[in-house]
Amino acid sequence: MRTFHVAALAVAAGAFWLAAPTAHAAEPSPAPGWTWEISVDGIYAERSKTPGTVIGRDVGLLNPFIQADDFDFDGEFGGDARLRLRHDALAFEARYFGGFDFGSAIGGDAPLDWFFAGDPGIPFGGPLATFTASYDSRIHSAEANVRWYTHPQFIVFAGVRWLELKESFGLQSIGVDFLMQTKNRGFGPQIGFDWRAVAPSQAGGFFLDLDARLAVLFADQDAAFRVTGGWNFTGGGGTGRNIPAAELGVTVGWQVNPNAEWRLGYRALYLDRVALAPAQMESFDFSDGTVNVAHNDLWIHGVTFGFALRH
């Protein structure tokens, strides 16, 4: 929650800026009537690991040999696309952010005898057993905002955000397959600001943009597992929870002319209290087929590169 509080302070600081004197150069006034703007940024992002929840233990030593943080994610590409329609000091914005498909896999020789860390743990290994495990994580989000140009370089906005985070964790050994799947799907209000902290005095100049947004997503979170092979179990669980979401971005760019610009930046998204698939391994019960959904924080951050066009 500390990160969420820092982002809230950033939004408050931006609002305070409105009342302070400014010496920034103003951008050209928009043409009368309706104008439009489209921006497209590619993002090469990384995501934080799942905390080290125990997945498998050695029967004899009760020693963990597979943990959730054994999975290393490579960077993945996603997108950030925005369409804005503006009339005077108001604009309507539609945005998509996401498209990331993070994946990781490990494998090797298991201890002679081992079991899942579920409650109760069930034997899963045998003499010289080998195992493979895979972890997949995907995220999508969409927004609709109303933007108010309180100053040529400062915009506050409010709207709604929808977000979906789906994950799956699979493990195979000696003819037995295990699958855990989680889904976080939420919708809720958000506020934020965009600030062109440094504006080019004319076309062909550099600029610096800062933006922040805070959302509270009223989410359904589900987890379900399936074991097939030597044993056959199925089960699941769910909960409703508010997911605070904070997003920060910084962008530098080159304004080619009043209607076009190139952009390079960095963006980070923080989600609080989400259900991650491997993190459920110590919170599900084979005997009665239930999952007591566990919650963890998640970071997604990376470099952005793109362009914007307006008319």
Check residue 235 and give its pLDDT: 87
In a domain, 28, yes or no: no
In a domain, 211, yes or no: yes
In a domain, 205, yes or no: yes
In a domain, 257, yes or no: yes
In a domain, 107, yes or no: yes
Q: Binning pLDDT at 50, 70 and 90, where does residue 54 land?
A: confident
Could you tell me the residue range of the domain that residue 90 belongs to? 2-19+35-310
- What percentage of the chain has pLDDT greater than the value 90? 58
Task: Count CB neighbours of 233 within 10 A.
Answer: 16
**How far apart are the C-alpha atoms of 3 and 159, rounded to whole Å?**
21
* Domains in the chain, number: 1
Positive/negative CA dihedral, 27, 31, 32, 38: negative
pLDDT at 5 over 60: no
In a domain, 12, yes or no: yes
Residue 36's contacts (CB-CB under 8 Å, 6 or more residues apart) are: 83, 84, 85, 86, 310, 311
Interval 114-130: pLDDT, tens: 777 666 566 665 555 78
Interval 58-105: pLDDT, tens: 777 777 888 899 999 999 999 999 999 999 999 999 999 999 999 999
pTM of the model: 0.84
In a domain, 44, yes or no: yes
CATH code for the domain of 289: 2.40.128
Q: Which residue has the higher pLDDT, 88 or 29?
A: 88
In a domain, 30, yes or no: no
